[in-house]
Amino acid sequence: GGDHTITYPILQAVAEKHGPVGLVHVDAHTDTGDEALGEKIYHGSPFRRCAEEALLDRGRVVQIGVRGSSYDPDPYRYCRQQGFRVVPAEECWGKSLAPLMAEVREQLGAKPVYISFDIDGLDPAYAPGTGTPEIAGLTPAQALEIIRGCKGLNIVGCDLVEVAPMYDVSGNTALLGANLLFEMLCVLPGVRTL
């Protein structure tokens, strides 16, 4: 629930307990903007604020599914400068993400990890009920591969954001979001599944 701004105070609390954490971030956008309309804290800036406050273990941040138009000819430069791994949506098209997640598990290791999943990481054909949809996104099957691919990581928290009921006429976005949250609960450490 909520817009992606909520992840910023959550990660402040998580880092207070665990120190800087790794991050699996699924989103159409990097959410590393500096400011909008004069505001430094908004739904497009949480991961810049987190990087500035050293809440993230920068070499253990993976952003998957990013895409869309940009005002900058190199929209992922800031992320790369921070040491984040950016996996644009076009690198995901038409294939299983299980091999990617094997690499991600190796990169993130045994230290604490947080999962932040923006529903707009999925293509709006599957999840139209969001405020900033971008075409050519991930499929629900790929979303499951990402989340299930996190099993075995030291996950210390997770969220799913940006479901907007007023744009979700069919209810499919909420249904997909609820199922993805269920899947996240199933990969938490100590949870036994069949």
CATH number of domain containing 63: 3.40.800.10
Q: Which domain holds residue 146?
A: 4-187
Q: How many CB atoms lie within 10 A of CB 4?
A: 24
- Mean pLDDT for the chain? 97
Residue 121 falls within a domain, yes or no?
Answer: yes
Residue 192 falls within a domain, yes or no?
Answer: no
Give yes or no for residue 172 having a pLDDT over 70.
yes
Residue 154 falls within a domain, yes or no?
Answer: yes
Q: Are 57 and 124 in contact (CB under 8 A)?
A: no
| Residues comprising the chain, all counted | 194
In the chain, how many domains are there? 1
Reported as a single tens digit per residue, the pLDDT across 47-96 is 999 999 999 999 999 999 999 988 888 999 999 999 999 999 999 999 99
As to burial, measured by CB atoms within 10 angstroms (0-12 exposed, 13-18 middle, 19+ buried), residue 167 is middle
0.75 exceeded by pTM:
yes
- CB-based contacts of 164, cutoff 8 Å, min separation 6: 129, 130, 131, 173
Residue 193 falls within a domain, yes or no?
Answer: no
pLDDT for 1 equals 61
Q: Is the dihedral of CA 86, 7, 115, 133 positive or negative?
A: negative
Residue 111 falls within a domain, yes or no?
Answer: yes
Residue 33 falls within a domain, yes or no?
Answer: yes
Give yes or no for residue 183 having a pLDDT over 70.
yes
